[in-house]
Amino acid sequence: MRGYLLDINPSGRDEVILWIKCLDGRVVSHRIKWMPRIYVHGSLENLVKLGRLISQRYLIDFVERSVKPGSPPETVLEIKVPFGDKRRLANLILDLGNHQLFKVYNVDLPSMQEFLYQYDLHPTALIDLSSDGFKVLDSIEDLDYDLSWVRVAHLDAKVETSSIAPKFSDRLEEVVIEMDGERIVLDGAEDGILQDLTKTLDDLDIDVIITDGGDSFLLPYLHYRAHANGVKLRLGRSRDPRMFKPSPSTYFSYGRVYWGFKLRGRIHIDSSNSMLYHETGLDGLIEVSRVARIPIQDAARYTIGSCMSSLQYYQAYRLGVLIPWKLSRTVYMDCWSLNRADRGGLILDARTGVYWNVAELDFKSLYPTLMLKHNISGETVNCECCKDDGERIPELGYHVCKRWRGIVPRAIELPLRKRMRYKDVIKQVRDSRLRTLYKSRSDALKWILVTAFGYLGYRNAKFGSREAHLAVCALARDVLLKAIRIAEENGFEVIHGIVDSLWVQKDNADDQDYLELAKKIEDETSLPISFEGRYRWIAFLPSKTHPGRPANNRYFGVFLDGRLKYRGIEARRRDTPPIVRKMQLEILEKLAEARDPEQLREKALEAIEIYRGYARRLILGDVSIEDLAMTQVLSMDPDDYVVEARQAVAAKHLERAGISVVPGQAVTYVIAGTSGLSKAVPIQLIEEGSYRLKPYLTMLEKATHTMITPILESLKAPHRIYDMNSM
Amino acid sequence: MTYRQRLQLELDKWRNFRRALLRDEREAFDGLVDQVFRLCHAGSMYPERDTFDLFMMSALISHEGRLKTLEKELRLGMKVDERLPIRHKSIW
């Protein structure tokens, strides 16, 4: 029997259930006897004693494993542990050894991942199931894998409530299931709705349920209503886990997540509790689940860092390297070496002004590529074995192992290579639906690659080290400096550079010239570089606080093909109200029409009319309240703010209305007055038309200045290397 | 600490010095500081050097660059090992 692996979950003490969607559409569950393992390292004598002690209760074995990457295997004690018992047992063993005799490993390796690693399985894998086990028929390296069998539905509910925060005691009014553009509404009596819900999900044979707030409210709420009505509700394909005992006064505090509400045999994704789903959709999420071998429901709720770690754990698992539980890695560095080493990427500030015919060249996934190419991993940088003959890191004098290939480079090779392949395919594919699919998958892999570097220096990363992190930065600086030199030697002026991107300019150079430069840099550094495009013009802006100094990453411009790019201006900021964003983008579109400096000046003057239009609408009250809403994240408890910050004021409003707000949560508000509580009123509580005019007018004005002033000024005084007008 | 942060810290030490400068002098001081900030990319590559040394070298480079620009504007070349090819009219 052939089918796709939808999900896995533990069952009882020692069983794993595989949910398989057969090719004929049936869903079957298949049980495998299996238990997670932990490993104990210590002297052989002590291990034998420990083994005798616990062998009555646990299955044990003596096996050969490496306790450190690259070190030879040693004899360790393997213990099979029932689900959910790893930590308790590990702590017990540490206590038995007085926290000195034993070290425990693989304790925080999630069990379902360990299962997938062991069987070389991955979610959505095509498998062939027979009486003597199963065989995996596809590979995580595949770019094209069939997902047409996945039946996805969106689930939402309407709650009969008088307040802005629904409570568990509020009656369920209706449930809406949306699938393939079709809407099914279940309404009527509560018990009827809930009974119908289970049946409808089964009838439609749903595999994936997507909710907005299902973890924090919807699913626990539905279960509570079922409980209150004496109805049996099942949202998965077998009994839902019982994990919630709410009281009727439990209310929905928006954006706050209590736990993940995972189903069995059916996948639940809470879009508001899944960064991966939010950023890259179901396609990106499944790609990461496959590549990193994490059950989809877990991957949806993990941070990207945890997804990336799974890639490393898999490599370690396959190599027989154990994963330490508690890290005791203190590396001391004196102040001077830290000062020398602890630097990020190179930033070459742009000289403020408007430039024409500028090309942007980006190194493709520079940091991960460097990690792969130079074998950078926690255990390879400054290793014991290659002090004399290891590869040297520029500036720092560190050395890198040449005898052992690091866990980190092994782990990032697949996502890195696969992403490049996706990018190549995207260029060739005509079908826009396929292009979007590959794009989501490649974006999801990009997230993994981005965190791969950050995690290298993270305190709790199992296979990282600070030196490795610093080594990558040093290599990246070296590469960017080399690239700058090559550009200059070929007659280009380097205008701006940030970490892995360069903006270069040469009058009259065309795409071909820039492509040749990219090729030269690629050849000399042996690192892939991409030509992002040629700007018709690009304006680099000065610092806001020090107008005489440049600011990095504050620019806007238009590519020859009409694409707009802007960074660091108001339109990019989250706390900018939509009205300001819309105006600024409209101005940018106006400016983008210019074909030469003279026209650009004219367009800049015309853009002032756009500003006037928006200001007029604001004065006449011809704006919706949503257009004025500003969103900010609370960095601390609303009562802890010393100055009366607007976000804190807005949070106080919400608290009065019975909604708790915690640090880290975003609040959306409108400015309605000058002081007190009117300073910021949450969007949920504001009345239409009650906003304060002046701050919004000032915001419009400032945003217009950002766009227009550099253009008008640059034309007044043509750009020079050292701008004398600024003195 | 990054070079930018160290530079800012160094400049904070000069606060009282700056306060005593007259307006045009203060403007010149701020102008020089701005020029030095334009060379942060180079300063950040020599972290073991004293911050003020880097400040000085950056200020000198910015002056050298601006001299070059002036020379171009005035269409004359000043070489390090030659005297200025300008006949100064003595004002005495």
Asked if A333 reaches chain B (Cβ–Cβ under 8 Å), the answer is no
Compute the nearest-CA separation of A377 from chain B (Å).
Answer: 24
The one-character DSSP state at A216 is: I
Distance CA A426, CA A449 (A): 19
Residue A191 pLDDT level (bands cut at 50, 70, 90): very high
Compute the nearest-CA separation of B92 from chain A (Å).
Answer: 31
Residues A173 and A272 in one domain: yes
* Contact present, A707 and A584 (Cβ < 8 Å): yes
Residue A341 pLDDT level (bands cut at 50, 70, 90): low
Mutate which of B44, B61, B67, B74 to test chain A, going by most A C-beta atoms within 10 A?
B44
Residues A76 and A201 in one domain: no
Indicate which CATH number applies to the domain containing A203: 3.30.420.10
User: Would residue A438 count as lying in a domain?
Assistant: no
Q: In total, how many domains does chain A have?
A: 4
User: Would residue A700 count as lying in a domain?
Assistant: no
Residues A172 and A306 in one domain: yes
Closest-CA residue of chain A to B65? A722
Are B34 and A549 a contacting pair at CB < 8 A? Answer: yes
User: Would residue B82 count as lying in a domain?
Assistant: no
Are B37 and A549 a contacting pair at CB < 8 A? Answer: yes
Distance CA A341, CA A692 (A): 50
The pLDDT of residue B89 is 44
Asked if A726 reaches chain B (Cβ–Cβ under 8 Å), the answer is yes
**Section B21-39 average pLDDT:** 93
Residue A624, classed as helix, strand or coil, is coil
Mutate which of B41, B55, B64 to test chain A, going by most A C-beta atoms within 10 A?
B41
User: Would residue B34 count as lying in a domain?
Assistant: yes
The pLDDT of residue A639 is 83
Q: From the list A346, A546, A722, which residue is nearest B65 (CB)?
A: A722
User: Would residue A135 count as lying in a domain?
Assistant: no
Residues A629 and A497 in one domain: no
User: Would residue B54 count as lying in a domain?
Assistant: yes
Residue A33, classed as helix, strand or coil, is strand
Q: pLDDT digits over A604-663, tens only? A: 999 999 999 999 999 999 999 899 999 888 888 888 888 888 888 888 888 888 777 777
The one-character DSSP state at A324 is: B
Residue B35, classed as helix, strand or coil, is helix
ipTM of the complex in this document: 0.72
User: Would residue A165 count as lying in a domain?
Assistant: yes
Residues 6+ apart with CB under 8 A from A148: none
Q: What is the mean pLDDT of chain B?
A: 84
Distance of alpha carbon A53 from its chain centroid, rounded?
45
Which amino acid is located at A514 in the chain? Y
* Contact present, A707 and A587 (Cβ < 8 Å): yes
Q: Which residues pair with A28 in a beta bridge?
A: A20
User: Would residue A413 count as lying in a domain?
Assistant: no
The pLDDT of residue A37 is 97
Asked if A335 reaches chain B (Cβ–Cβ under 8 Å), the answer is no
User: Would residue A585 count as lying in a domain?
Assistant: no
Residues A472 and A547 in one domain: yes
Residues A295 and A366 in one domain: no
Q: What is the secondary structure of A235-271 as a DSSP string? A: -SSS---------TT-B--TT--------SSSEEEEG
For residue B3, the chain A residues in CB contact (below 8 A) are 343
Asked if A718 reaches chain B (Cβ–Cβ under 8 Å), the answer is no
The pLDDT of residue A326 is 77
Mutate which of A501, A722, A724, A726 to test chain B, going by most B C-beta atoms within 10 A?
A722
Distance CA A227, CA A248 (A): 11
User: Would residue B24 count as lying in a domain?
Assistant: yes
Residues A187 and A42 in one domain: no
The pLDDT of residue A244 is 55
Compute the nearest-CA separation of B67 from chain A (Å).
Answer: 9
What angle (nearest 5°) sits at the alpha carbon of residue A10, between those of residues A5 and A15?
95
* Contact present, A219 and A260 (Cβ < 8 Å): no
User: Would residue A552 count as lying in a domain?
Assistant: yes
**Section A313-322 average pLDDT:** 96
Residues 6+ apart with CB under 8 A from A367: A449, A452, A453, A472, A476, A500
Percent of chain A with pLDDT over 90: 70
The pLDDT of residue A540 is 93
User: Would residue A587 count as lying in a domain?
Assistant: no
The pLDDT of residue A727 is 37
How many other CB atoms are found less than 10 A from the CB of residue A713?
Answer: 16
Residue A724 pLDDT level (bands cut at 50, 70, 90): very low
Structural domain that includes position B35:
3-74
**Section A257-269 average pLDDT:** 83
Q: From the list A347, A477, A727, which residue is nearest B31 (CB)?
A: A727
**Section A541-548 average pLDDT:** 86
The pLDDT of residue A330 is 62
User: Would residue B79 count as lying in a domain?
Assistant: no
Q: What is the pTM of this model?
A: 0.84
The pLDDT of residue A686 is 81
Which of the residue ranges A124-128, A302-306, A453-457, B2-6 would you say has the lowest mean pLDDT?
Answer: A453-457
The phi, psi pair for A612, rounded to 5°, reads: -60, -40
Q: What is the mean pLDDT of chain A?
A: 90
User: Would residue B89 count as lying in a domain?
Assistant: no
Residue A591 pLDDT level (bands cut at 50, 70, 90): very high
Which of the residue ranges A96-100, A350-354, A529-533, B24-28 would you say has the lowest mean pLDDT?
Answer: A350-354
Residue B91 pLDDT level (bands cut at 50, 70, 90): very low
Q: From the list A348, A497, A548, which residue is nearest B31 (CB)?
A: A548
Q: pLDDT digits over A45-93, tens only? A: 999 999 999 999 999 999 999 999 999 999 999 999 999 999 999 999 9
Residues A297 and A359 in one domain: no
Predicted confidence (pLDDT) at residue A428 exceeds the cutoff of 60: yes
* Residue carrying the six token digits 């001077």: A336
The pLDDT of residue A391 is 93
Residues A313 and A185 in one domain: yes
**Sheet-wide strand order for A501-505:** A347-348, A493-498, A501-505, A353-363, A529-542, A550-559, A564-567
Q: pLDDT digits over A148-183, tens only? A: 999 999 999 999 987 777 888 899 999 999 999 899
Residues A43 and A103 in one domain: yes
Predicted confidence (pLDDT) at residue A555 exceeds the cutoff of 90: yes
**Section A303-311 average pLDDT:** 92
Indicate which CATH number applies to the domain containing A661: 3.40.1820.20
Are B38 and A336 a contacting pair at CB < 8 A? Answer: no
The pLDDT of residue A719 is 43
Asked if A482 reaches chain B (Cβ–Cβ under 8 Å), the answer is no
Residue A409 pLDDT level (bands cut at 50, 70, 90): very high
Closest-CA residue of chain A to B3? A343
Q: Pick B27 or A720 by higher pLDDT.
A: B27
Which residues of chain B are at the A interface, by a Cβ-Cβ cutoff of 8 Å? 1-3, 30-31, 34-35, 37-38, 40-41, 44-45, 47-48, 62, 65-66, 68-69
Closest to A417 (Cα-Cα) out of A532, A318, A311, A323: A311
Structural domain that includes position A220:
152-317
Q: In total, how many domains does chain B have?
A: 1
Compute the nearest-CA separation of A499 from chain B (Å).
Answer: 11
Which amino acid is located at A438 in the chain? Y
**Hey, CA dihedral for B16, B18, B21, B22, is it positive or negative?**
negative
**Hey, CA dihedral for A274, A277, A278, A280, is it positive or negative?**
positive
Residues A301 and A371 in one domain: no
Region class of A229: left (phi > 0), else alpha (psi between -120 and 50), else beta: alpha
